[in-house]
Every structure is written in C-alpha cells, then in structure tokens.
A and B are shown apart, each in its own frame.
Chain A
C-alpha cells in the first residue's frame, strides 16, 4: 500500500506585502504631516495647562534667552503687504529686488537701518549673528513692525488678529524683554495676545480640573 504523502507546507510567510504596507504608511505619514515652521533659534518655551492649539497662520514674536527679539510673519497672504507698508512708513527705500528678498526671508531679526545693507549683500547672516529687532523704550522698532501688521489687517476683525499674535519666549528670558514687547503691542492698541507654551497636565483637585469635569458631565 502506497503511503499517502501529506505535503508539508512551509511556515514561511511572504513578508513582501507587509513590508510594502509598512513603508506605504510611513511615506504617507511623513508626507501628510505638516512641516514645522522654521525655528528661528533654539527656544524652549514654558509650559501651561492651556489646551488651545496654536493657529496655522500667525505673527510670531520670538524672544531668545539672551534677549534678542525676532519676528516671523507666518501669514503668506499678508506678508508682502506688511513689508511694503513698513517700507513706505519708515522710508527704508528698499529697491524692488531687496524687497523681494526680504519677503522671502523666513524671519526678521535686524534693526531697520541694517536691513537695506543686509538685503543688498549676498552673504547670508546666520540667526545667532543677527542683532534682533531693537525694543528699547526709546527705539522700539518692534512697535513699528506691529503697526505695519495692524495696517495690513485693517478692516478685518480685531479678534482674529489678536488670535494670530503669538509671543514665544525662552524659559530664561528676563522679564524686561517681554515688557518691551508688551509695550510694542500696547502702542498699537493691542491688549490681548497669546503666548506659545508647551502643554502640561491640569493638576488634579484644582478648580480648573473641577470645572472641566462639571462641563464634561453636563454634556
């Protein structure tokens, strides 16, 4: 009697398909995630319990730990208008080519009187060599920038503008730097803005946690 041969199946699974799926998802996630807006300088912001997400388009004022102030105009639709407005109001006399170069730069960190020469030259100044925007009480150039920002958004909703104004500071930035930024906003009748923070858990048993719990129950 002939033996019945049971064909032995290999336990090896073809991994090619799985590999394909893994890398497909990987590529999808890498491409789908929004690229982070360029970080001006290494700044580690303080943390808060706030859970509001930062808006996509923003006018960001960054304070570094050594007290330099940088401005990032994150709203591409208004960026050109803001820079044109400043060029006109502060008589920077930038040529069209210099203006175009300034509009392309990701952030602004130079005093007004240095902008023209920096835009005219071909050498790129690294952010840590930039002097930052002067914010002294006698020469608060940030206030001029903010004025151009408010001019560009004129006619729009003030609330919407307030939501876009962000201040990002390093943990170790000294308070006077913030005070001058506050002053720059105040000069332009802006009394409400936002601070960029890292998220932190709401402490248990606090009033905030209790009221958040109540709101959740009511829902």
Chain B
C-alpha cells in the first residue's frame, strides 16, 4: 500500500512539474553543425590550372633564342636538375622544389633575359623523367605561373638528360 501511495504521490508531483526542457544545448549543437557545413562547403571547392602541351603536328618551327631557354628536368625523389641555354654542352646543376631553389632560379633567369633583350622572351622547357611524379610536374608549372613566365614547353628527355635523371 505504501508503495502505491508513493507512486500516486510522485505521479501527482510529476503532473505539476514543468515539462519545459532546456533547449540551450540543442541550439548549441544546431549552430555548431551549421558552422561546420558552411565552412566545409566553401572550402572543398576544387580549383583548376591550365596546361598547354606542344602541338607536334605544327610544322612551323618556333625559334627560340638559346640564351632565353631554361631547361628543368624533374628527376626521381623530388630532385630537380636544370641547365641554361641549348642542350649541347649543357652544364647540369641540381636544385630542389623549395621556393628558394627552383623559383629563385627561374626568377633570376627571367631578370637576366629581360635585362639583355629588354623583352620578356624567356622560355621554360620542362622535361619530366619517368620516375618523377605528377606533383613534380604541377609544381614546376605552378612555379612558371608564379614567376609569370609567358611560355613553357613540355618536352621529353634526351640521352644526356637521362644520365642525370636515372
């Protein structure tokens, strides 16, 4: 009996109790999710960068002044080799993808060509090796965008180049 009375009492009590729930944590959760979605949607937007590949069928030979050219070889293990001028008697030097490496070299060459010819005629020749990865290629193209190089060519390695990259 005592139990029943107790139950009755408590049920009575409950009916008097305020049934309003504190919604603050729910609001917090709502806004948290809201902020999350707003941020992720704007940030996940993919970007694209243009790439131009040389037209082999175009038989009109494009004359490049030898002193305007800078050739960059992408080797394995993120190693970069480069030489200035033509590929005969080229002096190969090595560098890396860090800004103080590749970007500095491109910028210096560009300034050199501009000072000598008073026009922006520098040409970048990019030769990725079979062991270089896609990131290396995009990095080099990106550096040419950063340094505002007007023209670049994607070329294949020759025998002398292979000695260095392999």
**A-to-B contact residues, CB < 8 Å:** 14-16, 18-19, 22-23, 25-26, 29-30, 33, 36, 45-55, 63, 166-167, 169-179, 182, 185-186, 189, 191-200, 202-203, 206-208, 211
B27 near A48: Cβ-Cβ < 8 Å: no
Q: Which 9 A-B pairs have the closest CB atoms?
A: A22-B30, A15-B23, A50-B49, A169-B134, A171-B135, A46-B138, A173-B134, A194-B48, A46-B135
A195 near B146: Cβ-Cβ < 8 Å: no
Which of these, B74, B99, B107, contacts A175 with CB under 8 Å?
B74
User: Known contacts A50-B49, A54-B48, A195-B138; can you find 7 more A-B pairs with CB under 8 A?
Assistant: A18-B23, A19-B23, A25-B34, A167-B51, A174-B134, A178-B128, A182-B154
Once A and B bind, how many residue pairs between them come within 8 Å at the CB atom?
159
A52 near B133: Cβ-Cβ < 8 Å: no
Cα A185 to Cα B56 in complex, Å, equals: 12
A175 near B154: Cβ-Cβ < 8 Å: no
A175 near B142: Cβ-Cβ < 8 Å: no
Cα A79 to Cα B95 in complex, Å, equals: 45
B94 at the interface (CB under 8 A from A): no
A108 to chain B, nearest CB (A): 20
Cα A182 to Cα B48 in complex, Å, equals: 16
Q: Which B residues are in CB contact (< 8 Å) with A211? A: 148
| Interface residue total, chain B, C-beta cutoff 8 A | 50
B130 to chain A, nearest CB (A): 5
B47 near A198: Cβ-Cβ < 8 Å: yes
B131 near A174: Cβ-Cβ < 8 Å: yes
Contacts A/B (CB < 8 Å), 21 sampled? A15-B22, A26-B33, A33-B41, A45-B46, A48-B142, A52-B50, A53-B48, A54-B45, A171-B135, A172-B133, A172-B135, A175-B129, A175-B134, A179-B128, A185-B53, A194-B50, A195-B48, A197-B46, A197-B47, A203-B99, A207-B107
Known: A26-B37, A206-B147. Is A52-B48 also a contact (CB below 8 A)?
A: yes
Cα A169 to Cα B138 in complex, Å, equals: 10
B134 near A46: Cβ-Cβ < 8 Å: yes
Known: A29-B41, A186-B56. Is A176-B46 also a contact (CB below 8 A)?
A: no
Q: Which A residues are in CB contact (< 8 Å) with B6? A: none
When each residue 34-63 of chain B gets 1 if its CB lies under 8 Å from chain A and 0 otherwise, what string results? 100110010011111111111111000000
Which of these, A15, A50, A197, contacts B26 with CB under 8 Å?
A15
B120 to chain A, nearest CB (A): 11
Known: A29-B34, A178-B137. Is A53-B45 also a contact (CB below 8 A)?
A: yes
